[in-house]
């Protein structure tokens, strides 16, 4: 079965923007996760963990996940079962390491993947490269 568009939008609103889904679900009232982590991968994750095939510090010594707040100001209002980042998302510039090729990206909470997908084209990272996603370029979809 597929997900109804309105339901997909409500699920995305809850996960990405911490907006309650009337009569169905609300964000944790006592200690909700306040950020989502964006991770880069050198191959498709093979588990539900963001550490699966994630870029290694040896390949990119300054690598770190990017944190994005779970608020209405950081993710677009879901439409058609999709939400997008509002602001530019920049990873730190690679200063040293052996280099790597990024093929996938994931969005997670506490290291657990919520969404992941292929990059439109693989991206080689070496010294001086600073990967980024332009505003509204990172799209998470529920179908």
| Helix ranges, the chain (H) | 5-17
pLDDT given for residue 12 in this prediction:
98
- Read off the DSSP letter of residue 77: P
What's residue 85's pLDDT? 98
Which residue, 113, 104, 111, 112, is CA-closest to 138?
104
Report in angstroms the alpha-carbon separations of 105 from 11, 19, 81.
20, 24, 19
Render each residue's pLDDT in the chain as its tens digit; 143 residues.
Answer: 999 999 999 999 999 999 999 999 998 888 899 999 999 999 999 999 999 999 998 899 999 999 999 999 999 999 999 999 999 999 999 999 999 999 999 999 999 999 999 999 999 999 999 999 999 999 999 98
Taking the C-alpha atoms of residue 107 and residue 22, their distance in angstroms, rounded to an integer, is 24
Give pLDDT, residue 28.
Answer: 85
Task: Kindly report the pTM of this predicted structure.
Answer: 0.94
Ordered by start, the domain boundaries in the chain are 5-141
């Amino acid at each position: 079965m597929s997900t109804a568009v309105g339901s997909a939008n409500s699920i995305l609103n809850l996960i990405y923007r911490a907006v309650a889904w009337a009569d169905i679900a609300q964000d944790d009232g006592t200690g909700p996760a306040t950020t989502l982590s964006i991770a880069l991968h050198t191959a498709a994750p093979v588990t539900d963990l963001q550490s699966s095939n994630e870029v290694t510090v040896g390949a990119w010594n300054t690598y770190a996940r990017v944190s994005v707040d779970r608020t209405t100001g950081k993710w677009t209002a879901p439409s058609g079962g999709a939400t997008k980042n509002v602001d530019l998302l920049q990873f730190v510039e690679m200063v040293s390491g052996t280099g790597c090729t990024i093929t996938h990206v994931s969005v997670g909470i506490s290291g657990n993947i919520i969404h992941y997908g292929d990059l439109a084209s693989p991206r080689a990272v070496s010294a001086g490269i600073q990967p980024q996603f332009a505003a509204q370029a990172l799209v998470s979809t529920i179908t």
